[in-house]
Amino acid sequence: MRQFECGTLVPGCDWHTRAEEDAEIVRRAVEHMRTAHGETVIRENMVDNIKARIRDEAHKAA
């Protein structure tokens, strides 16, 4: 499972998402940028910044 935390890109934002595929995370993150942060144009460098911040989900100790 992969995850993205918006706060790594937009300080103070606690929105996050997780999915199996990076493409789905990027789709959700772009939609979040539009609705929550008022971004009307999503430039390629924004997508690159989102992709660079997608991480493997940390496994919790049992």
Which sequence spans correspond to the domains of the chain? 2-56
pLDDT recorded at residue 58: 77
pLDDT at 60 over 90: no
Pick from 62, 49, 41, 60: nearest CA to 4 = 49
Query: DSSP character for 23?
Result: H
Q: Would you say residue 62 has pLDDT above 90?
A: no
Give the 3-state secondary structure of residue 10: coil
Reported as half-sphere exposure (CB side, CA atoms, 13 A), residue 8 has a value of: 14
pLDDT in the model for residue 6:
98
Q: What is the pLDDT of residues 1-49, one digit of tens each?
A: 999 999 999 999 999 999 999 999 999 999 999 999 999 999 999 999 9
